[in-house]
Structure 1
Amino acid sequence: MRWLERLSGFVAMLLLLATPAAAAEGLDGRTLGLAWAIPFIGMLLSIAVLPLATPHIWHHHRGKVAAVWALAALVPIAITAGPHAAAQAVTHTALAEYIPFILLLLALFTVAGGIVIRGNLRGSPATNTILLAIGAGLASFIGTTGAAMIMIHPVIRANDDRKHNVHVIVFFIFLVANAGGALTPLGDPPLFLGFLRGVDFFWPTVHLFWPTVIIVAALLVVFYLLDRLIYAREGHLPRDPTPERAISVAGGINFALIPAIIGVILLSAAADWGVVTIYGTEVAVAALARDAAFVAIVILSLGLTRRSNREENSFSWEPMREVAELFAGIFITIIPVLAMLKAGADGAFAPLVALVQAPDGAPNTLAYFWITGGLSSFLDNAPTYLVFFELAGGDPDHLMGEGAVTLAAISAGAVFMGANTYIGNAPNFMVYAIARDRGVKMPGFFGYMLWSGAFLLPLFAVISWFFFKV
Structure 2
Amino acid sequence: MSKKLFAATALLVAPVVARAADLDGAALGLVWAVPFAGILLSIALFPMLAPGVWHHHFGKITAAWTALFLAPFAVAFGLGHAGALVLHALVTEYIPFIALLFALYTVSGGILVWGSLHGSPKLNTGILAIGTLLASIMGTTGAAMLLIRPLLRANEGRKHNVHVVVFFIFLVANVGGGLTPLGDPPLFLGFLKGVTFGWTFVHMLAPVATLAAILLTVFYFLDRHLFAKEAREGTLKPVDRSKDRPLKLHGKRNFWLLAGVVGAVLLSGLWKPGIVFELPGAHLELQNLLRDLALIALAFVSLWITPKPVRAGNEFNWLPILEVGKLFAGIFITIAPVIAILRAGDHGALAALVRAVSGPESEPLEIMYFWMTGILSSFLDNAPTYLVFFNLASGDAATMMGPLADTLLAISMGAVFMGAMTYIGNAPNFMVKAIAEHRHVKMPGFFGYMLWSGAVLLPCFLVLSVLFF
The verdict on how the C-alpha distance between 1:44 and 1:184 changes in structure 2, with shifts beyond 3 A counting, is: farther
Greater mean deviation of Cα atoms: 151-160 or 185-194? 185-194
**Aligned partner letter, 1:107:** A
Aligned position for 1:224:
220
Aligned position for 2:13:
none
Q: 1:219 Cα deviation (Å)?
A: 1.7
CA distance in 1, matches of 2:78, 2:68: 15
**Aligned partner letter, 1:87:** G
CA distance in 2, matches of 1:88, 1:396: 28
The verdict on how the C-alpha distance between 1:198 and 1:52 changes in structure 2, with shifts beyond 3 A counting, is: farther
- Cα deviation, 1:259-303, whole Å, max 9, x if unaligned, reads 111111111212122323332433221111111111111111111
Identity %: 56
Aligned position for 1:262:
262
Q: Secondary structure at the match of 1:117?
A: strand
Aligned partner of 1:150 among 146, 171, 177: 146
Q: Secondary structure at the match of 1:258?
A: helix
Contact 1:31 1:347 in 2 (8 A): yes
Aligned position for 2:7:
none
The verdict on how the C-alpha distance between 1:307 and 1:47 changes in structure 2, with shifts beyond 3 A counting, is: same
Aligned position for 1:249:
249
Aligned position for 1:300:
301
- Cα deviation, 1:304-345, whole Å, max 9, x if unaligned, reads 111111111111111211222222212222222333222211
Aligned partner of 2:108 among 112, 117, 120: 112
Aligned position for 1:181:
177
Aligned position for 1:57:
53
Aligned length: 446
Aligned position for 1:427:
428
The verdict on how the C-alpha distance between 1:246 and 1:349 changes in structure 2, with shifts beyond 3 A counting, is: same
**Aligned partner letter, 2:273:** W
Q: Secondary structure at the match of 1:407?
A: helix
Q: 1:376 Cα deviation (Å)?
A: 3.6
Q: Secondary structure at the match of 2:277?
A: strand
CA distance in 2, matches of 1:49, 1:199: 38
- Cα deviation, 1:55-98, whole Å, max 9, x if unaligned, reads 22223332233333333333444344433233333323322222
Contact 1:150 1:313 in 2 (8 A): no
Q: Give the alignment's TM-score, normalised by structure 2.
A: 0.85
The verdict on how the C-alpha distance between 1:390 and 1:332 changes in structure 2, with shifts beyond 3 A counting, is: farther
Greater mean deviation of Cα atoms: 30-39 or 310-319? 30-39
CA distance in 1, matches of 2:183, 2:91: 21
CA distance in 1, matches of 2:96, 2:62: 19
**Aligned partner letter, 1:346:** H
Aligned partner of 1:92 among 80, 88, 91: 88
Greater mean deviation of Cα atoms: 247-256 or 378-387? 378-387
- Cα deviation, 1:208-266, whole Å, max 9, x if unaligned, reads 22100111122222333333444455548352389521101111321101111111111
Contact 1:97 1:196 in 2 (8 A): no
CA distance in 2, matches of 1:370, 1:97: 24
Structure 1: gaps of 5 or more residues: 1-22
Aligned partner of 1:68 among 35, 50, 64: 64
For the aligned residues, what is the CA RMSD? 2.9
Q: Give the alignment's TM-score, normalised by structure 1.
A: 0.84
Q: How does 1:21-420 map to 2 (within 5 A)?
A: 27-162=23-158, 164-195=160-191, 199-232=195-228, 234-235=230-231, 237-240=236-239, 244-280=244-280, 281-378=282-379, 380-392=381-393, 394-420=395-421
Q: Secondary structure at the match of 1:152?
A: helix
CA distance in 2, matches of 1:306, 1:272: 37
Q: Secondary structure at the match of 2:244?
A: coil
**Aligned partner letter, 1:301:** S
Q: 1:162 Cα deviation (Å)?
A: 4.3
Greater mean deviation of Cα atoms: 74-83 or 136-145? 74-83
CA distance in 2, matches of 1:383, 1:61: 27
Structure 2: gaps of 5 or more residues: 1-18
**Aligned partner letter, 2:303:** L
The verdict on how the C-alpha distance between 1:333 and 1:451 changes in structure 2, with shifts beyond 3 A counting, is: closer
